[in-house]
Amino acid sequence: MDTDNKKTSYLIGLQVAGNLVNQGIELDVESFTTGVTSGLAGEECAVPAEEAGKLMMALEEQIKERLQKQRIEVAGKNKEAGEKFLAENSSKDGVKVTATGLQYKVLVEGDGAVPAATDTVETHYEGTLINGEVFDSSIQRGQTVSFPVSGVIKGWQEALQLMSVGSKWEVYIPYDLAYGEAGSPPKIGPFSALVFQVELIKIV
């Protein structure tokens, strides 16, 4: 690979191969190479159109089934891990549990007003998965965020209406008070429990 074109061509091939592997597609490398060469040369497909259509439809169905199976497996693991995390966390010092299953720990107790569902608030926050991986952070961005209390996930809505302005809490949210069974791809998987550090700066 002594030219930029060769290097770029190699990288494109590597990327295409990686995508195929990630989808679980098993290839005959020699036939695949022949197909690429034919396509670049503008040659007609060597497989009859009707047969080609059936083969590609079957492949798409296999990929869909495989992805669905993977989602089910991930969902089950996330749900089990979240339930275990919350069960263990609920008995830790300072952690309080509400009737809905929301958990929180007061880090700083404010002395301001408590927002209502109809209010808009300004906050600073950082959200992580239960393994500590950050998926969103106004703190890292260095900019506070304002939004209606009623416009966020249920766990946030409940927590904000319990907090006084000036408070800083760590909030532990079960999946059903967060993004539910679907999650919020790509960072938040299905059935994911979440952890937030939330600072309530003011009611706007």
Architecture per CATH, 4-80: Orthogonal Bundle (1.10)
172 noted as active-site residue: no
Question: Of residues 25, 119, 130, 135, which has the active-site annotation?
Answer: 135
- Domain segments of the chain: what residues? 4-80, 82-203
**Of residues 32, 119, 136, 139, which has the active-site annotation?**
136
End-to-end CA distance of the chain: 59
Mean pLDDT of the residues in the chain: 95
Please tell me which residue in 147, 153, 176, 203 is annotated as part of the active site: 153
Per the annotation, the verdict on 104 as an active-site residue is no
Annotation marks residue 85 as catalytic? no
Q: How far apart are CA 95 and CA 172, in angstroms?
A: 9
pLDDT 10s digits, 40-83? 999 999 999 999 999 999 999 998 998 888 889 999 999 999 99
Instruction: Give the position of tokens 């958990």.
Output: 103
CA 167 to chain centre: 27
Q: CA 103 to CA 98: how far, in whole Å?
A: 6
pLDDT in tens, 101-140: 999 999 999 999 999 999 999 999 999 999 999 999 999 9
Instruction: Name the active-site residue from 85, 179, 188, 201.
Output: 179
82-203: CATH number: 3.10.50.40
DSSP state at residue 101: S
| Residue partners of 27: CB distance under 8 A and separation at least 6 | 20
User: What distance in Å separates the CA atoms of residue 177 and residue 145, rounded to the nearest whole number?
Assistant: 20
CB 193 within 8 A of CB 82: yes
pLDDT at 22 over 90: no
- The closest alpha carbon to 45, from 35, 53, 37, 55, belongs to 35
pTM for this entry: 0.76
Which positions ≥6 away from 119 have C-beta within 8 Å?
148, 149, 203, 204
Q: Is 135 part of the annotated catalytic residue set? A: yes
Residue 44: Cβ within 10 Å count: 7
